[in-house]
Amino acid sequence: MKFEEIIQELESLSSPEDVEGMARFGINPKKVYAVKIPELRRIAKKTGKNHALALKLWEKGYRETRILACMIEDPDLVTSEQMDEWAADFDFWEICDQCCMKLFRMTPFAYQKIFEWGKRDEEFTKRAAFTLIAVLAVHDKRAPDEKFEEFFPLIIRESTDNRNYVKKAVNWALRHIGKRNLNFNRKAIIVAEDILKIDSKSAKWIAKDALRELKSEKVQKRLESLGKKV
């Protein structure tokens, strides 16, 4: 599909009555067609990978065009500079998370950007660092354990960030590392217990929520089962 055809289809699928509902979930209502993700997946499948088109869709600046850009972009053609530019454009949680899940995690710069963005002040750029940790913990099955152990100091350091979308992503990262295998479950629990001792409302919320899941019977049984299969 060409750029103009995609825009026409998004406009035809637009649901103005859903815009207000999306706003309640922190989705920017100023540039949104309110098209559902399954429809975007369908359009992306019809379009196929297209680097030039992805750049054009991103520049359009709408929720849907940017999610589509992440879906059709070729991760092998993404540069470090492009990742920084797109991350700087994040202005709500959904585009940040979609971009990390659909594109950034598959680029050769994913692990590098975690450490770079984890130091940034911008709320959604920093969120992207921890979202990447979470999605890589799930999807990068071949990565050595050492790669994820390196993230613990970053998680501890940023656990005091009280901003809602940052602290939730820090929590997400810690929980997903802790569900990778039994070894990491034990290590993540120790890290969470250390975070719990920090004099910070955000840190205590992150730790308590993570410990609740990581110590749960459901998670323990699943990890024990995975351990037996290895």
pLDDT tens by residue, 76-117: 999 999 999 999 999 889 999 999 999 999 999 999 999 999
What share of the chain in percent tops pLDDT 70?
A: 95
Residue 78 in tokens: 């993404």
Distance of CA 131 to the CA centre of its chain: 3
| CATH placement of domain 110-230 | 1.25.10.10
Tell me the per-residue pLDDT of 118-169, one tens digit each, with 9 for 90 and over: 999 999 999 999 999 999 999 999 999 899 999 999 999 999 999 999 999 9
**Residues 7, 165: Cα–Cα separation, whole Å:** 30
Give SS3 for 60.
helix
Confidence of residue 225 (pLDDT cuts 50, 70, 90): confident
CA distance 54 to 66: 8
Residue 228's pLDDT band (cuts 50, 70, 90):
low
| Residue 182 confidence (pLDDT) above 80 | yes
DSSP 8-state assignment for residue 36? -
Q: Is the pLDDT of residue 28 over 70?
A: no
The model's confidence at residue 230, banded by pLDDT at 50, 70 and 90, is: very low
Instruction: Report the sign of the C-alpha dihedral through residues 164, 168, 171, 177, in that order.
Output: negative
Query: How high is the pLDDT of residue 26?
Result: 65
Please report the pLDDT score of residue 30 as a whole number: 74
3-state secondary structure 142-175: CCCHHHHHCCHHHHHHHCCCCCHHHHHHHHHHHH
Rounded to the nearest 5 degrees, what angle is found at the Cα of 132, between the Cα atoms of 189 and 123?
95
Q: Higher-confidence residue: 193 or 27?
A: 193
Q: What is the pLDDT of residue 17?
A: 74
DSSP letter assigned to residue 2: -
pLDDT of residue 18: 74
Mean of the pLDDT values across residues 195-202? 98
Long-range CB pairs of 23-30, under 8 A, 24+ apart, other chains included = 25/94, 26/92, 26/93, 26/94, 26/165, 27/63, 27/92, 27/94, 28/63, 28/91, 28/92
Give the model's pLDDT for residue 15: 77
The one-letter code for the residue type at 176 is: H
pTM score: 0.93
Which residues have C-beta within 8 Å of that of residue 220, sequence separation ≥ 6?
Answer: 185
Q: So what's the pLDDT on residue 229?
A: 59
Mean pLDDT score of the chain: 94
